[in-house]
Every structure is written in C-alpha cells, then in structure tokens.
Amino acid sequence: MPELPEVEVVRRGLANWVAGRTVADVQVLHPRAVRRQPAGAEDFAARLTGTTLGSAQRRGKYLWVPLDGTGAGFSLIGHLGMSGQLLVQDASVPDETYLRVRLRFEDGGRELRFVDQRTFGGLAVEEAEDGDPEGTPVSIAHIARDPLDPRFDDGAFAAALRARRTTVKRALLDQTLISGVGNIYADEALWRAKLHYDRPTATLTRPQAALLLGHAREVMTAALAVGGTSFDSLYVNVNGESGYFSLDLDAYGREHEPCRRCGTPIRRAAWMNRSSYFCPRCQRVPRSR
C-alpha cells in the first residue's frame, strides 16, 4: 500500500513528467474516483481543462499539483488510497483494466492516467486554504506535517504523543498527529523501537517518544532510497508500489519467520480489522492499561 515513501516517489515522477504541461482533455471513467469533487465529474473536468500543471507537492500521503490559469490557489489534489497509481503512459498503451481518470495534454505527449482497483483513492480540484503560503488545499489542512517535512516539530510531536490517551500504534496511524505512516511502516518503526503496538502513549518516556519518531523517520527514509531507484522513464512509478517490495522489512508480513534481533518467531495479531506484526520477545505486551 502506498505510504509516505511510495507517494514521494510518485510526487517526484509528477514533478519530472507533467509539470509545465497544459491539460487538453479530461476523461473520468469511474465517478467514484472524483467523489471528493462536490459538483461532480463534469465540474472536475471543466476545472482542469486548459490549466497548466505546476510542480507536485506532498503532505503525508496526499499529493497536490498547483494549477495555473484557473485563478490563484487551485490545485489538483490526489490520494492513492490502497491501490491507486498515477502512470505516465503513451496513448498507444491499451487502457488499464482499472483506469479511472485520463488527462491528455496539449503537447500531444504521454497521458497521465489514474488507475485504481479498489477505488479508495481519488482526485479533485480544490482551492487552497485561505492565506496559506504553501497553497495547501482546504481538505488536507487538518493533516499533520510528516517526519520528512523540514518544518515537522519533533518536540511538539513527542509532547502531543505523550498527551494522548490512546495506544501507540493508533497514534502513529493518526494523520492529524503525524502523517505519512501506514500499517507497514508503523509496524517497522515499532519493531525498531522495541515497543508493543498496544503500549499506552501516556506511559512513554520523552526519550522513548523521540526514539520512536527517529525510527519512523529512518525506516521511511530507507524505503524512499530504495523506491527511488526503481523509478525511471515511462511510469511515474514502476508498479504502483514503487519498490517497497525490495525494502527489507523486519516485522510486517513476516509471521512465523525469525526476528532478526533475537530469533523468536514474529507473531501476527488481529488488530483494528487489520494485522499487527511484532516480535513477542523484543516487543513485550504492556502489563496494564
């Protein structure tokens, strides 16, 4: 699933391949892909057609591309959900089975295609938050900065984490506290920090909170370095998962395999209608709530 590193690879791809190009034509092939557009698919297409795309921005798992020529402050905003891909494709390439939106450009070059099997992702054209110099679209104003953002405040995060009355993995997945972290990198960061996913945040010491943040930042930075190599010419990313398969995961998806620290088999636990992978020896269950 695309988390911060995968989305950053896509952002770079957009910046390289579509920035500066003018939209000639927009096709919405599945209405759900633009469900965040209040006035619907036709309005989405109309707002995009004739605009020139700027350089893609990212916050957490959200992307946005500033639009010139529609008046100030509008952007094409996107989220990949679980299975979304943004592909830069030659027009001669047959339509993908789950092609949802197609953008053609006035230069007649490669198309931008939004492909999404499970339709949790989506696109919209949206105005910027009033007076925001970064042009952040209104619907993501509530999303926290991510740990790769130079303006992320480590101290404020540690304090906010410890002030929460919840458990640590829930907090890591809360995009209003820290953005960009999904199920995979949450499990990886917790493994590195030797913390159990159900550890109450209020019991973390300040150094533990700082270490956890450091591990989250490190694992996503390492994944980005790997994902970046798999991205070259035709596609914004190669396969929509952009190389996260090649990252050496220590916990996620490794049920029954030995912990790389202590050899104890990694365990998978049902957790919030999904899974948590952890080492039962390195990441001890908290004694009480």
267 binds DNA (CB under 7 A): no
Residue 179 CB, nearest approach to DNA (Å) = 7
Choose one: 42-50, 179-187, 217-225, 259-267; the region binding DNA (CB under 7 A).
179-187
- The residue among 84 and 104 lying less far from DNA, judged by its C-beta, is 84
Residue 61 catalytic?
Answer: yes
Q: How crowded is residue 284: how many other Cβ atoms within 10 Å of its Cβ? A: 13
Site membership for DNA, residue 206 (CB under 7 A): no
Q: Does 165 help bind DNA (rule: CB under 7 A)?
A: yes
Distance of CA 257 to the CA centre of its chain: 27
32 binding DNA? (CB under 7 A):
yes
Question: Is residue 145 near DNA by the rule CB under 7 A?
Answer: no
**Is 258 one of the catalytic residues?**
no
Q: Which stretch in 59-67, 129-137, 218-226, 258-266 sits in contact with DNA by CB under 7 A?
A: 59-67
From 18-26, 49-57, 113-121, 242-250, span contacting DNA (CB under 7 A): 113-121
Beta strands in the chain (DSSP E): 23-28, 52-53, 57-59, 62-68, 74-79, 84-89, 99-105, 111-116, 122-127, 267-271, 274-278
**Catalytic residue (choose from 12, 61, 100, 254):** 61
Q: How far is the CB of 258 from DNA (least distance, A)?
A: 20
Q: Least distance in Å: CB of 183 to DNA?
A: 4
| Residues 61-80 close enough to bind DNA by CB under 7 A | 61-62, 79
Give the separation between CA 98 and CA 196, rounded to whole angstroms: 38
Among 19, 50, 148, 164, indicate the residue that binds DNA (CB under 7 A). Answer: 164
Nearest-angstrom CA–CA distance, 247 and 238: 15
Tokens of 70: 């529609």
Distances (CA, A) of 153 to 146, 148, 149, 162, 213: 9, 11, 9, 14, 11
Distance between CA atoms of residues 58 and 67, nearest Å = 15
Q: Per CB under 7 A, does 119 bind DNA?
A: yes
**Other Cβ atoms within 10 Å of 182 Cβ, number:** 20
d(CA 248, CA 69): 44
Indicate which single residue of 117, 203, 221, 230 sits in contact with DNA (rule: CB under 7 A).
117
State how beta strands 122-127 and 74-79 pair. antiparallel
In this structure, are residues 219 and 67 in contact, taking their beta carbons and an 8 Å threshold? no
Binding residues vs DNA (CB under 7 A): 1, 3, 32, 60-62, 79, 81-82, 97, 117-120, 139-140, 142, 164-167, 170, 173, 175, 182-184, 268, 270, 272-275
- For the annotated catalytic residues, the residue numbers are 2-3, 61, 274
